[in-house]
Amino acid sequence: MNWLHAIILGIVEGVTEFLPVSSTGHLNIVERLLGYDIDSVGMTAFTAVIQIGAIIAAIIYFWDDIVRIVAAWLQGLRDSSARSNPDYTLGWGIILGTLPVAVAGLVLRPFIEVTARSLWIIAGALIVWSGVMWLADRQRNLSKGMRQVGIRDALTIGVFQALAPVFPGISRSGATISAGLLLGFDRVTATRLSFFMGIPALVAAGLLEAVTAAGEIGHSSIGWSATLIATLVSGVVAYATIAWLLKFVSSNKFTSFIIYRVALGAVIMVLVGTGVVAA
């Protein structure tokens, strides 16, 4: 992989990782257009590893929140009187809410790495889940804030998150944000919860691929230099995207993303159906 392709894919990852439009779907499409075999082990590993850049950006952006939540959780473990702190409950919620996606990733890994990467599945999931997002975004009572997150809420969001790796077009952020809205959280809180729930899951997925497929990246046509460049670019772009998204959802619905998802799904179906791009 040359550096130009690495930069392009890093930008795609950084822009789409936290937007509810499916980063994996976009990467698969662009990788195919650039002529890569997205079913190869090396490319699968590359796609997972460069997510680490975006996750590092999220960790940096939310560092103060992360430290506060971890401190409250640890304090609650030591002192029962501190367990009334909403951050203690949120800490447990993030831990328990990560379990469904971890189980889905381990049990369904062969399906996720091959069958689920079909552009037909991605296009269908983009369109179908747009209906779920539309319904969620039009809930009338979106008034719950971060301090009202309960264990049941976190587990529900975690179950929704587990759908994303199985059907990439759903989008991890699209699934978690939709769950948050359906549970009655305001748009900013639902979006912030999407980040908090995604950080441990995506870090684990990226590190797993980096460890298990390091040889594949090093000995394939991709190479570690291109992978590291794409990871760095994705991190820089993702940081800017996070700041923009939180500002955007504070005063806007997700309608523009829903329209984009449906249009993209339709375009993919046309490209695949006419043979311009292989499924």
For position 137, what pLDDT does the model report? 93
For position 36, what pLDDT does the model report? 85
pLDDT tens-place string over residues 223-276: 888 999 999 999 999 999 999 999 999 999 999 999 999 999 998 899 888 887
Of the candidates 216, 16, 200, 238, the residue with the CA atom closest to the CA atom of residue 105: 200
For position 153, what pLDDT does the model report? 93
Q: What percent of the chain is modeled with pLDDT above 70?
A: 91
- Checking if the pLDDT of 217 tops 80, the result is no
Of the candidates 162, 167, 25, the residue with the CA atom closest to the CA atom of residue 106: 162
Q: What share of the chain is helix, strand, coil (3-state, %, to 5)?
A: 80, 0, 20
Higher pLDDT, 49 or 53: 53
Alpha-carbon distance 165 to 148, whole Å? 28
CA angle 139, 142, 144 (to 5 degrees): 145
For position 113, what pLDDT does the model report? 55
For position 50, what pLDDT does the model report? 87
pLDDT tens-place string over residues 61-106: 999 999 999 999 999 999 988 889 999 999 999 999 888 887 776 6
Around 87, how many Cα atoms within 13 Å sit in the side-chain half-sphere?
14
pLDDT tens-place string over residues 52-68: 899 899 999 999 999 99
pTM higher than 0.85, yes or no?
Answer: yes
| Average pLDDT over the chain, rounded to an integer | 87
For position 71, what pLDDT does the model report? 96
- Checking if the pLDDT of 26 tops 60, the result is yes
Block residue for tokens 């009338």: 140
Q: Domain locations in the chain?
A: 3-273
